[in-house]
Structures are given as C-alpha cells and as structure tokens.
Structure 1
Amino acid sequence: MSMAEKTGFTRRGLLGVFAATAVVAAPTYSNAFGLLRGAGDIRRIRMYSGRTGESIDTIYWIEGKYIPEVLKELNHFMRDWRTDQAMSMDARTVDIMAASHRLLDVSEPFMLLSGYRSPKTNAMLRSKSRGVAKNSLHMKGQAADLRLKSRSVGQMARAAESCASGGVGRYSGSNFVHMDCGPVRHWGG
C-alpha cells in the first residue's frame, strides 16, 4: 500500500508542506490569483470520490507557482470515472474550489461528483437530465460538481459566489454545487 493510500497525502504534497513551513510569513501578492490574495503562500485542495474510492489532500501551489506534478495528479483524480479519461483541468477551477473550501472553514474534504466529463458521458447525462449543458465546461476541464456533508448547498454556493471568479450553480434537489472558471454567473435554487 502506498503512502498516499495509507494517509491520503501524496509524497509531493507532503514535501510541499515542509517547503511551505520554511517560507517567510509575509504573503507574496504579485502572482496570486485575486480571490486568494491574503490566503498565504500555499494553496491546498482536499477531495474524495465516492465513485472511485480515491482521495486527495495536497498542496498544489507554493510561493506563486503551481506544482506541475501535483496538477497532473489532480487531472487524474478529477478524470471521467465512467470512461477513465483524464484532461488537463484548468487550475483556475481548482483555485475557486480551494478558496471556497477555505472560506467555509471546514476540515471535511469536498466530495467530487464530477470533474472532467468526456463528450460521450456528457451526452449520456444530457439525455437523462435537462440540467446538463450541451457545451458543458466539464468537457473542457473547467468545472466541478461538489458536495459537503457539513455545509448546505446555499452555504457552499455563497462561498463560491464570493470569489466572483466563475459560474456557480445550486442544485439543492441533488445536494451539490457546480463551480467553474467560466464567466461570472449563478443559477439554481
């Protein structure tokens, strides 16, 4: 069993934590994504997938730079579980998710319902639901559908909306929030 399977931390993420502790306390703002300014010198994302049984708890950004190896791990984690296809996820979406999680002040990881969606998967879901967009940003690696047990759809959506950095959809009937890095907009109830 690998370290990531035993602890939920990747080796690279753990090294990132150690590196982050050596950083000077004052945050660097010059390269920081607007919604995370003042958040410090690291960005962390915590998620699990009920579909694959996988989890990830990792630092993906340190000192104004994304960690390419960790982004590759996130691409795999956020793959279309139905087809096992992965795509390069837009890091701006991960930033929105991380900032929202931080604003919610929870230790519970997000449950990832959907990250990347292949066109085949999107067409199948669209045939079963009116709530699936024909040109969904999921197919571009720019969206995620997330859930938290400890927070309501409304609380999660308000946190994401406060980032003012993309689309936020409330799906109260299905108990999840859609977050994307497309145009700023919101919908649902």
Structure 2
Amino acid sequence: MTVITLVRHGQTDWNLLGRVQGRTDIPLNDTGREQARAAAEALRDGGYTAIVASPLTRAKETAEIIANALGLAHPVLFDGLVERDYASAEGLTAEDLSALRRRAMGADAETDEDVAARAVDALRSAATAHADAGSAGPLIAVAHGGLIRVLIAVASGGELPREGDRVENGSQHAFRFDADGFALLSSSAIATEA
C-alpha cells in the first residue's frame, strides 16, 4: 500500500481570470508561489519521501517549491498527470462559454474515464518506482484541478466533489493505492462556489 497526496498547483493568471487552462502551459503567478509554500508547510510533518508532478510548468514549479521546502529530491515528471485536454474550450472564460451556450467540457474534451485511467496508471507507476528504489513513506504528486476532481469522484463513488464544489489551488488530497484499487483518505480545500 502507498499513500499519495495529490496537491493542486498554485494559482496562475488564467486561474485568476477564470480561463480554462487544460494543457495550455501557463506559469504560476506570485499568489501561486505563495500557495505552493503554504502547501509545503501543510505537508511538512507527513513523512513524505519523494515528489512527482505533471510536466506542465505550473505543476512542475509548485512541486519544485514544495521539494525545496521539504528537503526532497527534484520532482520526477509523469506525463499521465497533465491536466484534462479541454480542446476547443482552452483559453475561454465562463462568459465566453456562456455566450457559446456550452460548458467547458465540450464534445471534443478528454473524457473522465480517459483522465482517470491515465492518472491512475501514472500514480501506480510512481508508487512502483518509489518502492523499487527502496524508498518507504508516502509520496506527493502535484497535478491539476480537473484531474484531481476526477480521481476524487472515482474514489468516492461519485459522492464527491458535490455539484458546485471546486478543488482549490494548493489544496491537498490523500489517497491510498493498493492492489485492490485506490481510496480517498482525506481532502482539504474543496470549496463551494458562491
């Protein structure tokens, strides 16, 4: 069994503007860097021994800030942890989507099932590599709100997150991975939209 705490990357300017990021590679802003430092403090006493991340700049930089604060080796990057591909919705705001009479998840977006399958494969690979290296202790994985939301939904049988909830930047969500599957152990900073 491996405990992996998923951390959502810190804020970007597109988060601030309400733009759909998806796989568009947007860097952290200063608030996002502060959120990464706050996440590191929240994780400080967790006994974490390694960190992995999505290769997108916002997740990679968040992971580097956390690794430096906790004295962990440089993050290992896993392509399977990238954000959902929102395709034609990327770069649009809620107002843009409303004017187009559609949600962020258009018909051309990556499905929940595909996101979950690749994310679980990446996390299992990270856990296996960690164990093969002789490391013990839990892992940190820095990823994205859409991906974390899907994993929370799968692990909770669709009970969480509730309609209107959002996964906050810098939030932490602990999962247990074992031979039988994975389960949500705890989740912080799921906020209900106003």
Superposition TM-score, scaled by structure 2 size: 0.26
Q: Normalising by structure 1, report the TM-score.
A: 0.27
Q: Which has the higher contact order (CA 8 A, sep 6+)?
A: 2
